């Protein structure tokens, strides 16, 4: 049932996103955008494709040294990413 109360544009868009089933794909896109914004120019040279599956962020790393470094700090990266997102969207980071 629709409310007769006027809605802000944000509320209307949020309702539409939820009802259209786009909430998941938009959240994934946001995760990837935030992840990329966290990478330094030096890291960008060693990190490749990233994708989200469920509540896990997978990241391809071209160098074994960088993969190990990122893996050792994965919990720190996860916390920072979720803080930027404003919720616990990612429960695990996997570096490959």
In this structure, of 12-16, 22-26, 27-31, 76-80, the range with the lowest mean pLDDT score is: 22-26
| 1 domain-assigned | no
Residues contacting residue 89 through CB under 8 Å, at least 6 positions apart: 27, 30, 31, 55, 82
- pLDDT interval class at 17 (50, 70, 90): low
Which two tokens mark 28?
A: 């994934």
**What domain range is 35 assigned to?**
9-95
Quick one: DSSP state of residue 87? S
Residues 19-65: tens digit of each pLDDT: 665 466 567 888 999 999 999 999 999 999 999 998 999 999 999 99
What are the phi and psi torsion angles at 8 (to 5°)?
Answer: -75, 165
The model's pTM: 0.75
The CATH number covering residue 49 comes to 3.30.300
| 70 domain-assigned | yes
| 43 domain-assigned | yes
Q: Residues of the chain with pLDDT > 70: what percent?
A: 82
Domains: count for the chain: 1
| 3 domain-assigned | no
| 4 domain-assigned | no
């Amino acid at each position: 049932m629709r409310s007769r109360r006027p809605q802000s544009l944000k509320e209307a868009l949020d309702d539409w996103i939820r009802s259209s089933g786009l909430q998941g794909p938009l959240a994934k896109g946001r995760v990837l955008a935030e992840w990329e914004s966290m990478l330094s120019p030096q890291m960008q040279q060693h990190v490749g494709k990233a994708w989200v599956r469920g509540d896990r962020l997978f990241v391809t790393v071209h160098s074994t040294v960088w993969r190990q470094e990122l893996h050792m700090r994965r919990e720190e990266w996860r916390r920072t990413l979720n803080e930027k997102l404003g919720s616990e969207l990612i429960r695990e980071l996997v570096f490959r």
